[in-house]
Chains A and B, each alone.
Chain A
Amino acid sequence: MIGPSMIGSVAIEAVQMGFVLLAAPGLVGIVRAVKARLLRREGPPLIQPYRQLARLLGKEVVLAHNASWLFRTAPYLILALTWAAASVVPTFSTHIIFARLGDLIVITALLGAARFLLALAGLDIGTSFGGIGASREVMFASLAEPAMLMIVVTLAIAAGSTQLSSIAAFMLSPALGLRISLAFALIALGIVALAENGRIPFDNPATHLELTMVHEAMVLEYSGRHLAMIELAAALKLLLMISIIVCIFFPFGLGGMGAAGFLTGLASYAAKLGIAAVLLGIFEVSIAKMRIFRVPELLGAGLMLGLLATLLLYVSRSL
């Protein structure tokens, strides 16, 4: 098994894992910058998220008296799970060594595991904010995850696989016509991605001390390096969801071989990330945050879209 191709895959994997970790805060920076520009504000510089992480790492950790071991280990595990999930997604090349470790369902589950820990950590100190965040988070997730899986079903029927690399290959193949169900799936996936990352209209990542907040309420008690891990994991998750979307629906430049293909892939991936960040910024500025109990309706719509996409797929296939 160990041959040149394997060494290449390992190398690509290493590059990818490093790249995503490094690029994630930058992506957040771009989104923030775009939003600030659109609101005619100066806005922070693009490297502000990196600075923030560095400052957090340098600070001492303030732990509540009754924090348990779970509270202290959770940040690392959350980061690790998110990072592991990211390492399975083909971002700029399908030839990554971990591609076979799991499919889209596994990725969803890894993110689910991270969320599980985060919600527990939110409950650990026993504050009302932690509880609010955790309970709302699991409510969102309980609808977002099925929606995600319905998208997987649609893709699996269309592409005959749940493996991201196979799906990407299918999307690149000329056999693909324009399918209404794939459009539905894209919309649904967009909804899920926004929900998963706690973006507007689901949650506002920029707020604190607001009763509607979700993610920030859970991590309220974290500080220092723990908070840094969690912030990094959150940024990574955003990047991950965007990566999944582009990998499935815009897999251009993904299939290349050799050094040239590798470089094209990397460049196109970076470009795609940038475009996605700008679009996200524009979207967030142009829409208001929802009331918390309107959220399930939107997520439910996502779930229904996923199911509808599956059913429509039969129609378009039987034509």
Chain B
Amino acid sequence: MIALAAVLGVPLAAAFLLSFIAGYRLSARINGLASFVSFAGSLLFLVHRPAPGALFLVDDLNIVFIVLNCFVGFTTSLFSAGYIGHELESGKLTPASLRFYYAMYQLMLFCMSLALIAANIGLMWVAVELATLSTVMMVGIYRTHEAIEAAWKYFILGSVGIALALFGTILVYLAAHPVIGEGAQGMLWTALLAHAWKFDPALLDTAFVFLLLGYGTKIGLVPMHAWLPDAHAEGPTPISAVLSGLLLNVALYALLRFKILLAACPGAIAPGPLMIALGLASTLLAALMLYRRRDIKRLFAYSSIEQMGIIVFSFGVAGPLGNLAGLLQMTMHSLTKSAIFFSVGHVAQVKGTQRMAEMGGLTESHPLLGWTLVAGVIAIAGLPPFGLFTSEFLVVSSSFSRAPLLTAILVLGLLLSFGALLLRLGKIAFGPVRGETAPVRASSAPIFAHLALVLTAGLWLPPPLVAWFRHAASLLG
């Protein structure tokens, strides 16, 4: 109960509180503190889980997501303290919008935690929708032409996606209706899963199509991805980190829940082929898009699409190793990509631009930022000694013997995307110094914390963690 209060109640209360506080330092502290409390609360779930209820459910699958969510939320709040301070100084944000920012930040965390923890598919939908709304607000916070365009695009595409997801949710309820009967039971995970084998498989298939496209929009799967790069590029960098590190995961989580449902219903189509197809399309297209990017944040946003493609592919291939790999890849991607965005945020602040043409030789002018960026890109490319190597190893090696051709395509995508990222990295991190060289007050702790975790995971995965992931993977079928 305490944990629930910490994870859900604290952010909500903080959001309310922060909307009245104008002082930058104070609100930054409250923001960090609230995020920390919810992170600590989420850790409590590890030792004690509340009993599944009508509203909330904590099980082996979502606990991974919840802890990750709260952790990245916490580190991002630390990062955003310094980042937003700089934005205030440089006049890009006004104190009024600052109040709005912090309140929205906590609200966003609340919505995402709620979506993860909800036991009811309707409640989850509502939470995802609210999360979308709050992030839309954040994306448009700079009020520049580009920011508003990005927010608007995000909003429209997100709304359509959300609407489709709702239609899918209604269809799931309809499928459950003859078996479970009327009432709230028909939307409860536990009840749905228990009776899934009796559902009408054809109806579940149809529902899954809508859910896949609906939540897939929020995951950023091609061809519904268009909002994602612009939203990442035009919003404040902490929000980019949260979008890539958390929001995509939340949508993915929702999709996975429904996948479990389908897996439990023997007559339903295997969701694998659809997920594989969308995953491959995302990986390949995003990899190609990387080549022509000029904006650094947009670059890494496309990289998120690519990674999401890999993850969805992996869950689509499934099998105990495939699911495990997917979970691991998702966790590692969250940590790595947010670390990259932290670095990128500072870089963009110091250079006064997000255009990569105006950055160069970072390892020389800003060794800390430069090398962490190098490490981040190395990690995101799935190279050792980082954790994404482990997960990509599992993804590729486990799926190749099952679907050789498809895996070959995936590998092609990996190679293409790495080629593009490395091409940029070579110019940004190395080469002659370009752009501003003023020193930066970087909040390096979050970057290092994330990279250290990813590094540790590459070298050594704690057996309990893996056992837990394996159990979660076995739930996924």
Chains A and B touch (C-beta atoms under 8 A apart): no
